[in-house]
Amino acid sequence: MSSHRSEPLFDVAQLAHIEIYTPKLEASVNFFKAFLGMQETERSGQSVYLRGFEEWYHHSLKVTEAKKPGFGHVGWRTTSEKALQRRVKAIKTTGLGKGWIEGDLGHGRAYQFTLPDGHLSEVFWDVGKFVASEEQRSKLLNRPQKRPLQGIPVSRLDHFNLLVQHVKPNKDFMVESLGFKVQENIVMKDGEEIGSWLSIDDSVHDIAMLKDPEGASGRLHHITFWYRFPSQVDEIADVAVEYGIPIITQPGQHGIARTRYIYLEEPGGNLVELGQGGYEILDPDWTPITWGEEDLSLALVHYGASFPEDFLARGTPPV
Amino acid sequence: MSSHRSEPLFDVAQLAHIEIYTPKLEASVNFFKAFLGMQETERSGQSVYLRGFEEWYHHSLKVTEAKKPGFGHVGWRTTSEKALQRRVKAIKTTGLGKGWIEGDLGHGRAYQFTLPDGHLSEVFWDVGKFVASEEQRSKLLNRPQKRPLQGIPVSRLDHFNLLVQHVKPNKDFMVESLGFKVQENIVMKDGEEIGSWLSIDDSVHDIAMLKDPEGASGRLHHITFWYRFPSQVDEIADVAVEYGIPIITQPGQHGIARTRYIYLEEPGGNLVELGQGGYEILDPDWTPITWGEEDLSLALVHYGASFPEDFLARGTPPV
Amino acid sequence: MSSHRSEPLFDVAQLAHIEIYTPKLEASVNFFKAFLGMQETERSGQSVYLRGFEEWYHHSLKVTEAKKPGFGHVGWRTTSEKALQRRVKAIKTTGLGKGWIEGDLGHGRAYQFTLPDGHLSEVFWDVGKFVASEEQRSKLLNRPQKRPLQGIPVSRLDHFNLLVQHVKPNKDFMVESLGFKVQENIVMKDGEEIGSWLSIDDSVHDIAMLKDPEGASGRLHHITFWYRFPSQVDEIADVAVEYGIPIITQPGQHGIARTRYIYLEEPGGNLVELGQGGYEILDPDWTPITWGEEDLSLALVHYGASFPEDFLARGTPPV
Amino acid sequence: MSSHRSEPLFDVAQLAHIEIYTPKLEASVNFFKAFLGMQETERSGQSVYLRGFEEWYHHSLKVTEAKKPGFGHVGWRTTSEKALQRRVKAIKTTGLGKGWIEGDLGHGRAYQFTLPDGHLSEVFWDVGKFVASEEQRSKLLNRPQKRPLQGIPVSRLDHFNLLVQHVKPNKDFMVESLGFKVQENIVMKDGEEIGSWLSIDDSVHDIAMLKDPEGASGRLHHITFWYRFPSQVDEIADVAVEYGIPIITQPGQHGIARTRYIYLEEPGGNLVELGQGGYEILDPDWTPITWGEEDLSLALVHYGASFPEDFLARGTPPV
């Protein structure tokens, strides 16, 4: 995968924020606040900025009103200002760069680019940290604010999953230009990689990519927020039934990444996963775990549930 | 339901033991011991007697070799010797009595009878208590033995579920002759009760009955053992995948009884549920919760999974 | 214990409600609502009526303003109107009866009496059931209302614990006049029973009694509400730290009853336990589990924590 | 902390293994195998090599017979062969280098050095991966072997905690020569840092250091293995009570690192923590969380338990 590079690259530090589009701004924001206990940091124009209560930055989620649901953009924070410069230089050589923007609420200037499949992305260094008010301040010095009393509050953004026309070019771009590691993937009998799980940290995925069964470009499959207790996944399931939030898959366990999950549909139509668990990859010469066509059901669902038939195609915007 | 009785009946105390048949005695016994951590108390002829580590009697499960898997018999313990006499008298008036037996390993003489659908049952008072060896003895005075170190050990037998040709006569017998309470049931649009959950204690079910989709008589749907932690249901799922035990439904949550579940198939072919949770019914004038045809999927699966199509027909012996 | 009775008594069905006193009515009510997610049913005079979201009656907790915190009264529901009459007759013979009252919000006429130690009690049959509004109604037919989105919501009242001058007379009264079963107790080397755990259902305790180390009469040690998930006990601990609710003992596990616990002090000064787990007693000839002086620390704390030295004396009102 | 370095260092990849000494080799090994479900990989001389079932290398724990319990050595794996060379060069400049060894079972040649406080350490690149036998092989491609059926099996080694005479020089060495990040620390009113939690990955600690209250050098405080479910910490507590393993602190929650813990004493006398949970640090310009003297109890125990008075001094070997 990175045979052209003698040593790993550490210039991107983390997934910092994601923007999603929704045709129902207030209903979507209410979903994230009332049920997932997220905090509204700020509003500007047609956008609302939100964060989980254990997140240190201004926001991890930007919800923007649009005609259709779907993917807005992703923001990656680099490990330093120099690392940012190095990555911009590398991106420019690919022809996918779009140029610098002055920044947004919550971060300074950023360099924008697209994935080969078209998904808007940015890298940046200067970030705005969240500062709790006196009343919000947690007694725990290592927690940015008090645990909220509303809903089943998520801790933080974990990863997101894109639908792409072809996995390989998008994966290669993330690996070669940004230094991501392929941790697990799915390769069919004909040799085509139809899914790839990549991360820049110790986890299995900060970003995952699935071949879009509809053959479309630029779609979002889902975004994922994280819980600290396994039973919180069951509690949000319970809440979803009570308050009429569509459950797309009941709580289960993925084979890939070994995470506990539930998939809900937020009012704007985007798929939202609530996850917990998983495993760490610290081995510096990790060989990506490759699941074959015959392993598909175990890869998807460790304990044997069946997913809705259209699950993999369930991207936004719908085609 | 018990309009003919001015006050509740308290003559049956509890589900004491169940006997199941298996064509693969050693493989079945190994399943209960190696994976569910059950304790073998004794063997006699083609039968092995087992108990969960938090059970106080000689056994809660008798596994007997037979040509086909299925239901052997159920043993109900009464609240006193006098209560036993009263129940025998009542059973005799129904014509379903079979007569006294001298007892079995683990209990004294018992009165045998069949349900209208033919399932062999018995009531008894004298019971043999389990006595831990010095080495097995728990430091906790309220636990009959140490927590075992093998498998994901079940605490105790919880309930069982029969398939019957017609629910009503079997349910009526349990209510009228033995004093059971109907806690929840399913009634179709045409008025037919196709499922009934009955208990003699504070739980939703010690015995449940489902209309056999195959129209057969005398079949067993499943037996259920209980865990103390919700995550033990996930751990046994994990173990099942690893060691090749068929998972019939992945971990989920029933609407009825609000219990957490997983269904496995033991090597003899019988369905075994591992459960946890649920709710208590203490209200003495509880009105049975009736789920209609339109509620069926929520009744079965609170959080929205689909069951295998043949799940309800999956009784033993197969027809 | 019940040698004078040939068969068990089943006239009392359940713990229905408890009244506590508080010098800070609004702060106490806010504690139960904001943190424990309880529902306010009604207010009358200096009293507020509350219930857990999985409780079917009008209220399980009545919080009444008073100069000092402490125990108001307990309400036991009988298994029938006839059972009520039988118990009233039996209570009258003890000289502890006080007479009938017309009822209260949430139940009909009740017969009041005191325990030998003076704690006000009542038995009643007619009860007011909670009816959810259209919006509150749960999709689950066996749940009285939706799971709330506020705090870490308790499911239901579980039991309460009194401090008494002498355990024996109070315990004997509960056993002989009301049919309670002693499930576990603590007996010192000198033969004195200093703690007794009694229940009228399958649990270890609906009521517990501890010898008051202060030698006082009529005091309350704590009331206990129940959670469905073990981790909810940790979550309420987390919330307690964040919002400044005094944690009297960190989450732990009792030897007696084998329940998971945390003890908080509500703003009025009363001790409130949040519990989960435990074990069932279905054996009709259960011998009470007796913990000796040498077992005390295991009885109190299974896993070995130390309690505050004044824990057992920490009753309300303070002396 | 790293003001002299303009960009972070990524040359050390992970904590690979720890060696502890025990005066009771077989009893210690039995503790790790029977209760923690660890796998014995190999034996050689007076040493036994063990690993958790979700670990990919030959071993994470080496248990070596010695007169007294205590710390043997720690092995850090680098991110590449070149990174190893760079670190060796840096270590040599400190005068703490000891020289190359040919390797050990499970890894190739390694460069040994000591911490300023004397703890033996090594860095290496070549590692021996564990290969499951046919029978041990997991169906999950991302798990190195089946989940064992013995005990409450730990997933993996997480971190370890040393007692040192002075925290600062040891911490500085880890930061400057090896690139560790100080994630949290404790600083007393007089300005002395008495505890430091450092990591080389996304966690709060791979290594922690506490000022030895006995003023000794070279001691071990504890080693920590990790569970995937919070309730496994309770289950090992239960098992510890049953089988007479000393519980040093009951299950609780640290403020620092926000991890769930229990501390047991293994038969050789070393302290073993079983942990779960915690939080991730991905922020590349993370400011270490500094707990002051007044925060000590919250830092140690989030939910308020008291630790044994000698807890911090409880190192091995005893002084």
Q: Which segments of chain A does DSSP mark as H helices, in order?
A: 25-30, 81-92, 167-178, 230-243, 296-300
Q: What is the pLDDT of residues C42-65, one digit of tens each?
A: 999 999 999 999 999 999 999 999
The beta-carbon neighbor of A241 closest among B238, B241, B302 is B302
CB within 8 Å of D88: residues ≥ 6 apart = D97, D111, D123
Which of B15, B83, B143 minimises the CB distance to C7? B83
Q: Is C105 helix (H, G, I), strand (E, B) or coil?
A: coil
Distance CA D300, CA D253 (A): 8
Chain C residue nearest residue D258, CA to CA: C238
Q: What is the pLDDT of residues A39-69, one digit of tens each?
A: 999 999 999 999 999 999 999 999 999 999 9
Q: Which residues of D touch A284 (CB under 8 A)?
A: 13-14, 77-80
Helix axis angle, B230-243 to D230-243, nearest 10° = 90
pLDDT in tens, B53-78: 999 999 999 999 999 999 999 999 99
CA dist C71 and C194 (Å) reads 20
Closest chain C CA to residue B292: C141
Q: Residue A284: beta bridge partners? A: none
Cβ neighbours for D26, distance < 8 A, ≥ 6 positions apart: none
pLDDT of residue C303: 83
pLDDT beyond 70 at C6: no
Amino acid letter, residue D212? D
| Residue B5 reports pLDDT greater than 80 | no
The answer to whether the CB atoms of B304 and A241 lie below 8 A apart is yes
The reported pLDDT for the residue numbered A5 is 59
Q: What digits encode the pLDDT tens for the residues C96-108?
A: 999 999 999 999 9
Cβ-defined contact of B262 to A234 (cutoff 8 Å)? no
DSSP for A285-298 reads: TPPPEEEEGGGHHH
Residue B310 above 60 pLDDT?
A: yes
Strand partners, B64: B21, B47
Residue A79: pLDDT over 90: yes
**How far is the alpha carbon of A137 from chain B, nearest alpha carbon, in Å?**
32
pLDDT band per the 50, 70, 90 thresholds, residue C301: confident
What pLDDT score does A309 carry? 83
- In the structure, what pLDDT confidence band is assigned to residue C3 with cuts at 50, 70 and 90? very low
Q: Give residue D318's identity as a one-letter amino acid code.
A: P
Rounded to the nearest angstrom, the minimum Cα separation between B302 and chain D is 23
Which residues face C159 on adjacent strands?
Answer: C224
CA distance to A17, A64, A158, per residue, from A267 (Å): 20, 13, 21
pLDDT tens digit string along B283-299? 999 999 999 999 988 89
Determine the pLDDT at residue A130: 97
How far apart (Å, rounded) are the C-alpha atoms in residues C122 and C178?
Answer: 11
Residue A275 near residue A260 (C-beta atoms within 8 A): yes
Q: Do D238 and B147 touch (CB under 8 A)?
A: yes
Give the pLDDT mean for D220-235.
98
Q: Which residues of A touch D57 (CB under 8 A)?
A: 283
Sign of torsion, CA D291 D292 D293 D295?
negative
CATH value of B12-124 in 3.10.180.10, 3.90.600.10, 3.90.470.20, 3.40.50.2300? 3.10.180.10
A256 interaction partners in chain D (CB closer than 8 Å): 142
Q: Calculate how close chain D gets to B44, using CA atoms only, in Å.
A: 28
Q: What percent of chain A has pLDDT over 90?
A: 93
Interval A98-151: pLDDT, tens: 999 999 999 999 999 999 999 999 999 999 999 999 999 999 999 999 999 999
Which of A56, A282, A286 is best to mutate for the D interface (most D CBs within 10 A)? Answer: A282
Chain A residue with minimal CA distance to B307?
A: A305
Please tell me which chains touch B, using 3 or more CB pairs under 8 Å as the contact test.
A, C, D
Summary mean pLDDT of chain B:
96
pLDDT given for residue A289 in this prediction: 98
Inter-helix orientation angle B230-243/A230-243, to 10°: 110
Residue B3 reports pLDDT greater than 50: no
- Pick the residue of B234, B238, B248 with the most A CBs within 10 A to test the interface with A by mutation: B234
- C-chain CB neighbours of A35 within 8 Å are 149
D157 phi, psi to nearest 5 deg: -65, 140
User: Mind listing the pLDDT tens digit for each residue in C211-229?
Assistant: 999 999 999 999 999 999 9
Residues of B with Cβ-Cβ distance to C146 under 8 angstroms: none
State how far the Cα of B176 lies from the Cα of C305, in Å rounded to an integer: 50
Residues near A233 by Cβ (< 8 Å), separated by ≥ 6?
Answer: A227, A251, A260, A261, A262, A274, A275, A276
Least Cα separation, residue B267 to chain A (angstroms): 18
* Residues 6+ positions from B254 with CB-CB distance below 8 Å: B261, B299, B300, B301, B302
> Would you state the pLDDT for residue B6?
66
Question: CA D189, CA C165: separation in Å to the nearest integer?
Answer: 48
DSSP string, C224-242: EEE-SSHHHHHHHHHHHHH
Opening angle at CA D100, ends D95 and D106, nearest 5: 130
Does position C190 have pLDDT exceeding 60, yes or no?
yes
Structure confidence at residue A3 (pLDDT): 40
Q: What is the ipTM of this complex?
A: 0.95
Q: List the chains bordering chain C where 3 or more Cβ pairs fall under 8 Å.
A: A, B, D
Closest chain B residue to D139, measured at CA: B242
Q: Do D146 and B243 touch (CB under 8 A)?
A: yes
Q: Return the structure tokens found at C7.
A: 């068969």
**Chain D residue numbers touching C247 (CB-CB < 8 A):** 303-304
Burial of B3 (0-12, 13-18, 19+ CB in 10 A): exposed
What is the model's pLDDT at position B118?
98
Q: How far is A57 from chain D (nearest CA, A)?
A: 9
The pLDDT, as a whole number, for residue D302 is 83
- Architecture category of domain D156-313 in CATH: Roll (3.10)
Among all residues of chain D, which has the CA nearest to that of A230?
D229
pLDDT at A8: 87
Chain A residues in contact with D184 (beta carbon < 8 A): 142
Does residue D2 surpass a pLDDT of 50? no
Task: From chain D, pick out residues whose CB is under 8 angstroms from the CB of C228.
Answer: none
Compute the distance between CA of residue D83 and CA of residue D76 in angstroms, rounded to an integer: 12
Q: Predicted confidence band at D6 (pLDDT cuts at 50, 70, 90)?
A: low
Look at residue A280 and tell me whether its pLDDT is greater than 80. Answer: yes
Q: What's the whole-number mean pLDDT along residues C154-160?
A: 98
Whole-angstrom Cα distance, residue B113 to residue C281?
Answer: 26
Average pLDDT of chain D is 96
pLDDT bin (cut points 50, 70, 90) of residue C8 is: confident
From the CB of residue D99, how many other CB atoms can be counted at a distance below 10 Å? 9
Per-residue pLDDT at A16 exceeds 60: yes
Supply the pLDDT for residue D308. 83
- Residue indicated by tokens 């295991």: C298
| B242–D150 CB contact, under 8 Å | no
Is-contact A156 A143, C-beta < 8 A?
Answer: no
| Nearest-angstrom CA–CA distance, D35 and D52 | 12
d(CA C286, CA C8): 12
| Span C17-37, average pLDDT | 98
Tell whether the model's pLDDT for residue B34 goes beyond 90: yes
Distance, in Å, from the CA atom of A247 to the CA atom of A272, rounded to the nearest integer, reads 10
Are A139 and C242 inside 8 Å of each other by CB? yes
Q: pLDDT-based confidence at D5, cuts 50/70/90?
A: low
Q: In chain C, which residues have their Cβ closer than 8 Å to the Cβ of B254? A: none
Return phi, psi of residue C95, to 5°: 80, 5
D242:B151 CB<8 A: no
Domain range list for chain C: 12-124, 156-313
Q: Is the pLDDT of residue B303 over 90?
A: no
Displacement of CA D304 from its chain's centroid (Å): 25
Amino acid at B69: P
Percent of the residues in chain D that have a pLDDT greater than 70, as a whole number: 98
Cis peptide before C169 (omega within 30 of 0): no
User: How far out from the chain centre does Cα B141 lie?
Assistant: 27
Is the pLDDT assigned to residue B302 strictly greater than 50? yes
pLDDT per residue as tens digits for the range D77-132: 999 999 999 999 999 999 999 999 999 999 999 999 999 999 999 999 999 999 99
Q: Do C146 and A229 touch (CB under 8 A)?
A: no
* Residue D1, pLDDT score: 34
pLDDT attached to residue C5: 59
Using CA atoms, how far residue A2 sits from A173, A178, A256, A285, in Å, is: 11, 12, 22, 11
Q: One fold for both A12-124 and A156-313? A: yes
List chain D residues with CB under 8 Å of B238: 147
